[in-house]
Chains A and B, each alone.
Chain A
Amino acid sequence: MRRVAITQVAQSPGVESRDNLMDFTYRVNKELLDRAGMKREEVDCVVIGSSDIFHSGFSCANSLDWDGAGAFMIEGTRAEDSMFAFIYGCMRVMSGFFDTLLVTAIIKGSENPDYDTLTGFFADPFYLRPVGMNETAAAAFQMRQYMERYGITEEQCARVVEKNLGNALYNPYAHVKKRVSVDDVLASEVVCDPLRALMCAPKSDGVASVLLASEKRAKKLCEKPVWLSGYGCSMDHFNPGDRDLLNGQLPAAASKAYKMAGIKNPRKEIDVAEICEPYAFQELLWCEKLRFCGEGKGGRLIDSGLTRMDGALPVNPSGGVLAMNPYVSRGLYRIIEATLQIRGDAGEHQVDKKVKKALAHGTHGFAGQCHSVAILEG
């Protein structure tokens, strides 16, 4: 397999953009190409990560996405999720057919109805939809089991919000900018018991782009290429009732990525992690599944301060998905943050340590039905 590097990144802020979806997409990709000093037509291939109709109002979203992605008459395609788009883009470079490839992920949450209206459409029309299943409902099931089985407390979950929104204050692209305390979180209204409003991610706009390159091209395109050293992806059963919600497919996805990257002790070897936590407790659960701590020890992990910006293994220095949730793009935002941290280009939210290896994680579906993990290295 050929090596693949991330050579440039660009991202939009999460706040509502006045631009239409097409122009919104253009601005970020133009910025990326200008930074790379490349013309649109010099890119070999474009892979778009965007959603079909329910997350944009457009069927065949790639039709509208095409122009702003700079894909006119060059090889290209589209994937449903931005982590899929990233992984697929890497495969295309590995295949030897393409030396430079642009991955862009697109969504304007501000134009959409509530996310739970949309995630409700994941449900089948026969069993799950009539009973009101959506991502928040599934997450509430998961959180309740998590608290009961391992004694995780509401306070510990709230601490994740306090940490991540605190980090977001230093990230110019983050959507939610407010300092909240554990008490604020616990005082916020119950949206789907035991989930409270501040424990759930917002709905954000977000176009994110990365320029991938083969080894041959990477070194010419930038000074500090960041390499993909491992990835994994795994799919779980559809019906939440068919699974143990606390033992899903994240360990499977992570072990593939770790094996490929030669990582034996993730807790020691990974320097920073960007995790997709649309619900606060999920950061703790996912940390367990990624082997950052033992089973049921997610609560103690946050209490220990290890995952804080100044801890030994900072998690979500960007503020994470709790601070900014452009649904389809959120996976690629994790990749971008991991890249910035490795390059030392994260500005005010740069972690206070040398970052050699970073982990980026994405998930979608009820209670983490599908997980993707990527390991990046400097």
Chain B
Amino acid sequence: MGRAVAIIGTGQTKHGRRNDVSYPELVREAVVAALNDAGISLRDIEGVVSGTMPSMMEGVSDTHLYFAEALGSVGKPVLKAETCGSTGQSIAHCGFYWVASGAADIILVVGSEKMFEGDGQATMTTVADPWFTKPFSAGAPMVFTMQSMEWIYRFGISEEKARDAAALISVSNHDNALENPYAHIHMKVTLDEVKNAMIITYPVRLLDVCPSSDGACAIIYASEEKARKICKKPAWIKGLGFRGEEFFYGESNKSIWPSATEAAKEAYRQAGIRDPLKELDVAEVYNPFTYQEMIFYECFGFCPRGEAPDYVLKGTFLKDGQLPCDPSGGTLCTNPIGATGLIRLAEAALQVTGKAGERQIEGARLALSHAMGGIDQFNGITIVGSEL
């Protein structure tokens, strides 16, 4: 089906509070980094895909217009895709299909966000409908807490065990971020600090929650022929999937999360993966909340339902475990939303091409990347490998 497609370059900005640059300057930083990484110039780029969280995040709408020069898109075709928190995966898919269709050979994909310029949580309230949801909503933490509680209850997990496992996820993500020069939060934390941090929405505490970040990420796709010419070691796209549930949160069972489960299943089918825990070498899971990361492990088939805390506590997903998750430090330490899902893919590509520096998982050949969006409504997956 379609043509084979590879990632031949990635670029990230330093993430964090980036009031040293304007928004287009931040975007350009990622574009230049990706071009340098691929060793090509803007002239080689045939089209550009752009994406951010909704405009309200920064108060400028239809930002692909504003970023025309920063994206290097003047005189070129542009597409803009956006699906909330899963935007990063959606623009990644858009670039993939563009090349797979044969309509272009080299495509640049750019995701970005400047969260310090607007009000992220206020933006989230405008995702909710004004009739039934908004009157009771307290931003993203509330939703993710409700989901975590439902999951704990449904599988009879002890609150204590879930708490311990979530704390370990926070500690290991923060440790991993120390080895990632692009990560926003560079901070050592202890299990006790996580467990005693300020309550945000019980049981979620401050260190269970991602930060708001400014940042941008760019990747460059090429067709098989071009990739082999330009790049010594491309990351090949092996499988992808995206699924969405109903708009109203209460209509699907979020403790088994159909969209996450089915998106992964579709990507596995394309990639020919039967046992993800054994076959995947690394996973970049979109984890804005520690508890939620465990639900993802179950939906992605990394472990049986209700057993994620056990697997976490025995170290399965640590850097030296059977399936290292988020060696970059993950979303928990860096979250420029429109870029976040694309950063997951860029990190996965770095891993399978041996370019991840200090955060490299040795011998990684097959990696999963993921993002989630809406009020727990959307999930997107892309799997990359070192071999076609």
Contact = CB atoms under 8 A, between A and B. Distances in A.
A/B: CB atoms within 8 Å of each other: yes
Contacts of A232: 77
Nearest to A21: B129
B102 A94 contact: yes
B187 to A, nearest CB: 30
A122 B66 CA distance: 7
A249 interface: yes
B54 A52 contact: yes
A365 interface: yes
A253 B266 CA distance: 35
A78 B79 contact: no
B373 interface: yes
Contact of A96 (B2, B68, B93): B2
A328 B126 CA distance: 19
Contacts of B55: 52-54, 121
A79 B79 contact: yes
Given A52-B56, A75-B243, A76-B242, A58 B79 contact: no
Given A121-B60, A238-B69, A96 B1 contact: yes
Interface string A236-277: 111000000000010011001000000000000000000000
Interface in A218-238: 232-238
Contacts, number: 199
Nearest to B102: A1
B97 interface: yes
Interface in B26-63: 48, 53-56, 59-62
A26 to B, nearest CB: 12
Interface stretch (B81-89, B209-217, B273-281, B351-359): B81-89
Contacts of A233: 77-79
Interface string A82-96: 001001101110111
A73 interface: yes
A64 B64 contact: no
A57 B56 CA distance: 10
Contacts of A237: 68-69, 74
A52 B375 CA distance: 15
B259 interface: yes
Contacts of A369: 65, 68
A100 to B, nearest CB: 15
Given A78-B81, A80-B80, A88-B97, A66 B69 contact: no
A63 B247 contact: yes
Given A53-B56, A59-B126, A95 B100 contact: yes
B59 A121 contact: yes
Contacts of B290: none
Interface in A39-67: 51-55, 57-64, 66-67
B104 to A, nearest CB: 9
B90 A73 contact: no
Contacts of A253: 77
Contact of B74 (A77, A235, A365): A235
Contacts of A84: 78-81
A125 interface: yes
Contacts of A75: 241-243, 266
9 contacts: A22-B247, A62-B83, A64-B247, A74-B243, A76-B244, A94-B102, A96-B1, A96-B2, A236-B75
Given A77-B242, A88-B79, 8 more contacts: A58-B127, A60-B53, A60-B83, A80-B81, A90-B101, A92-B97, A235-B48, A235-B73
Interface of A: 1, 22, 51-55, 57-64, 66-67, 71-81, 84, 87-88, 90-92, 94-97, 118, 121-126, 232-238, 249, 252-253, 256, 364-366, 369-370
